[in-house]
Structure 1
Amino acid sequence: MYSVRLAGTEKNYRVGKIVCLARNYSEHIKELGNEVPDKPVLFIKPSSSIIGHRESVVIPSYSGDCHHEVELAVLIGKWGKNISEQKALSHVAGYGVAIDMTLRDVQNTLKEKGLPWEVAKGFDTACPLSEFISADQVPDPHDLHISLQVNGETRQDSSTACMMRRIPAIIRDVSEIFTLEEGDIILTGTPAGVGPVVCGDKMRAEIEKVGSLEVAVQ
């Protein structure tokens, strides 16, 4: 099982599930031609999809259109079910940088057929993830510059202030469906600018006050 570490500490968290929120930035919704959802759109990546800093994304042979999606990752530090918005941030141990790798062609085919997305979202190496910093080092997770570059070219450049659903509401909504346990991770959605990567590309994702993440594509 994959573990993540809080920077500057000896604390390691064994990752259980990775719960991902789709369609949380309005400009990203527009660029893909999706509708604004009335309720949160959630899916899960397995912990086996995680890779770390300076490792490599391996695009599966069944896809010809793999996209990057930079996201703020939230590390859960304690058990919770039906968590209120008022108590939600007390369950957060730390924040990290994630890239939600997406097989866009596969996802679109599955969506057209009304089928689940996991094949397009949960494949091995689909979740590059940085180490985490303690939550107390991020005074406001809703006011952070978030960006991603491919081969030095900026593709995504936004702020977590543009989130439609904020972290306390996300944790509330997720915990109504899935019990949250220590080591679970929530991905909070991606801003506009997603696009394809191919073999040989190098990605650098960065979130202000949180850190950076570099991975290659093969």
Structure 2
Amino acid sequence: MTDFVTPPARPRLAIDGDSRSFPVARVFCIGRNYADHAKEMGAKAEAIFFMKPADAVTPDSTIAYPAETADLHHEVELVLALGEGGAIVASGVGVDLTKRDLQARLKEKSAPWEIAKAFRNSAPVGTLRAGPPPASGAIGLSVNGETRQSGDLDQMILAPDALLAELGRFFTLGAGDLVFTGTPAGVGPLKAGDTVKAEIAGLPVLEFSIPEARS
């Protein structure tokens, strides 16, 4: 049987020191996994899950400012890359980009807010590092050289193993899945012309820029 349409290509992420790549299947995200971030958002510190499509993931070093927002926010996160049986095989640095103004309007209506989170290129991820993820260590993000977010991985409410156990109650996790593990406090706006640097101790640095719009 042949395909009725051309199947979409999967995003693929580089693995540090390995000629192979990681093909992305699904993207799971957790919100409110750092108490200080939940507090700054005026929310209860409890884990909530949502998803992004595979095409949200991008390794690109430039990301266009998205449509339908005037308040794009950054959220630096440890990203888990899963293999067969849902085991962690690698990890990396990611940034969850959020249309905060749109999300706020949807929250006021008690409406789902996927369109504020699940847009194309909304999940830049850096080069992955094979092996277990760091259990502790600095996590941070700077914009144009100015520190915006700063925390430690041990501040997570649900550490990676506990997070996967909870997520596994609702989904059968498997090879190609990515899991964003939440963000520390300090989230804030990005604008055209900004350069973002996201870092987690022991993992390859993620850097990208938002080019100025052409006149």
Between 1 and 2, higher relative CO (CA 8 Å, sep ≥ 6) is seen in 1
From 185, 209, 212, give the equivalent of 2:205.
Answer: 212
- What is the identity, as a one-letter code, of the residue corresponding to 2:14? R
- What is the identity, as a one-letter code, of the residue corresponding to 1:65? D
CA distance in structure 2 between the aligned counterparts of 1:117 and 1:11, rounded to whole angstroms: 35
- What is the identity, as a one-letter code, of the residue corresponding to 1:150? V
Paired residue secondary structure (2:79): strand
Aligned ranges 1:121-200 → 2 under 5 Å? 121-136=117-132, 138=133, 141-200=134-193
Corresponding residue number in structure 2 for 1:92: 88
CA distance in structure 2 between the aligned counterparts of 1:60 and 1:3, rounded to whole angstroms: 22
CA distance in structure 1 between the aligned counterparts of 2:30 and 2:102, rounded to whole angstroms: 19
Offset at residue 21 of structure 1 (A): 0.4
Q: Which TM-score applies when normalising by structure 2?
A: 0.90
In percent, how many aligned pairs have the same letter?
A: 37
Offset at residue 134 of structure 1 (A): 0.9
Corresponding residue number in structure 1 for 2:80: 74
CA distance in structure 2 between the aligned counterparts of 1:176 and 1:169, rounded to whole angstroms: 11
- Structure 1's consecutive aligned runs of 4 or more residues displaced over 6 angstroms after TM superposition are none
Offset at residue 174 of structure 1 (A): 1.0
CA distance in structure 2 between the aligned counterparts of 1:53 and 1:166, rounded to whole angstroms: 28
Corresponding residue number in structure 1 for 2:51: 44
Q: What is the Cα-based RMSD across aligned positions, in Å? A: 1.2
Offset at residue 47 of structure 1 (A): 1.1
Paired residue secondary structure (1:157): strand
Paired residue secondary structure (1:34): coil
Asked if 1 retains the 8 angstrom alpha-carbon contact of 2:34 and 2:45, the reply is no
Corresponding residue number in structure 2 for 1:60: 66
- What is the identity, as a one-letter code, of the residue corresponding to 1:77? G
Corresponding residue number in structure 1 for 2:44: 35
Q: Residue deviations 1:107-158, cap 9 Å, x none?
A: 111111121121111111101100100124x5xx221211100000000011
Offset at residue 52 of structure 1 (A): 1.2
- Structure number with bigger Rg: 2
Corresponding residue number in structure 2 for 1:88: none
Paired residue secondary structure (1:16): coil
Q: Any unmatched runs of 5+ in structure 2?
A: 1-9
Paired residue secondary structure (1:43): strand
Asked if 2 retains the 8 angstrom alpha-carbon contact of 1:43 and 1:117, the reply is no
Offset at residue 190 of structure 1 (A): 0.1
Paired residue secondary structure (2:127): coil
- What is the identity, as a one-letter code, of the residue corresponding to 2:201? E
Asked if 2 retains the 8 angstrom alpha-carbon contact of 1:142 and 1:163, the reply is no
Q: Which structure shows the higher helix fraction?
A: 1
1:19 is aligned to 2:12: no
Offset at residue 61 of structure 1 (A): 2.6
Q: Answer with 44-53 or 193-202: which moved more.
A: 44-53
From 103, 106, 114, give the equivalent of 2:102.
Answer: 106
Offset at residue 53 of structure 1 (A): 4.7
Q: Any unmatched runs of 5+ in structure 1?
A: 81-90
Aligned residue pairs, count? 202
